[in-house]
Amino acid sequence: MEITVFSKQGESLRTIELSDQVFGREVNEGAVYEAVKNELANARVGTASTKTRSEVRGSGAKPWRQKGTGRARAGHRRSPIWVGGGVAFGPKPRDYSYSIPKKVKRLAFRSVLSLKTADERLKVVEDFSIDSGKTKDLMLVLRSLIEPERTLLVLQEDDQMLRRAGRNIPWLRIMTFNRLRVHDLFYAKHVLVQESAASALNEFYDEEGRKKRAAEKTESES
């Protein structure tokens, strides 16, 4: 499929050829769901903790005798039914992270990239940098391309000056193509992909094309 490349001023420059398997395939909702759930679970700190009846501070003495008072029997003041007592079945520190198959994760990336392309939420932009590192210079570029909404800018290589210019823009997130998260892609209103990053994504996720090129290389060598 062909995708238009835009300039920093928002003008059409040229078109580039990208794989339908990456930017034009059918969306697999199940893979996207599993990938997003996995990323959110892996991001959980898991430090929530409560004290059980054996850990809370308090006397272990029996508050009153077992029978004859007319009140309910009580063993000690650390019971979960008492104010200031322990917590029954409360959270304890745990690791929420888990892994999913690599094929599912890659399918989710291809599905979200295809979804954003179909919805015209993905734009390929010529490679650019902000040499001054100033936010106002980056805002001039962004205003010519998109509305000020939740946006993901995808780079091929990390650019410190571009990150410096974008760190004061609350609705902008800057990531390299090999550090993307399905969650950020899926929830972004606009996805801006630099031209070199688009080619890198196309190369990275086009498994069929990679196998075909490898087979052709083997045939030529033999």
Sheet of strand 151-155: strand arrangement = 12-17, 2-6, 122-125, 190-194, 151-155, 172-176
Judge if 135 and 146 occupy the same domain. yes
- DSSP 8-state class, residue 179: G
Q: Of 57, 72, 95, which residue sits at a domain end?
A: 95
Judge if 84 and 34 occupy the same domain. no
Judge if 124 and 180 occupy the same domain. yes
Q: Of 70, 95, 120, which residue sits at a domain end?
A: 95
pTM, full prediction: 0.83
Judge if 88 and 163 occupy the same domain. no
Percent of the chain with pLDDT over 70: 95
H/E segment holding residue 130: none
Residue 56: give the domain boundaries: 45-95
The CB-side HSE value for 61 (13 A sphere, CA atoms) comes to 3
pLDDT band at 214 (very low <50, low <70, confident <90, very high): low
Q: Give phi and psi for 8, each to the nearest 5.
A: -65, -25
Alpha helices for the chain (secondary structure H): 20-23, 29-43, 102-118, 135-145, 160-166, 182-187, 195-205, 207-221
pLDDT at 220: 73
Judge if 30 and 75 occupy the same domain. no
pLDDT at 222: 65
Task: Record the tokens describing residue 186, joined without a space.
Answer: 């899926």
Judge if 118 and 206 occupy the same domain. yes
Angle between helices 29-43 and 102-118 (to 10 degrees): 110
Question: What CA–CA distances, in Å, run from 206 to 30, 110, 212?
Answer: 20, 9, 10
pLDDT (tens digit per residue) in 123-132? 999 999 999 9
* Residue 6: CATH number of its domain: 3.40.1370.10
Judge if 133 and 206 occupy the same domain. yes
Judge if 63 and 153 occupy the same domain. no
Judge if 63 and 20 occupy the same domain. no
Judge if 91 and 129 occupy the same domain. no
pLDDT band at 93 (very low <50, low <70, confident <90, very high): very high
Q: Of 59, 74, 95, which residue sits at a domain end?
A: 95
Say how many domains are in the chain. Answer: 2
**Is the distance from CB of 82 to CB of 57 less than 8 angstroms?**
no
Judge if 123 and 21 occupy the same domain. yes
pLDDT (tens digit per residue) in 16-58? 999 999 999 999 999 999 999 999 999 999 999 999 999 999 8
pLDDT (tens digit per residue) in 95-119? 999 999 999 999 999 999 999 999 9
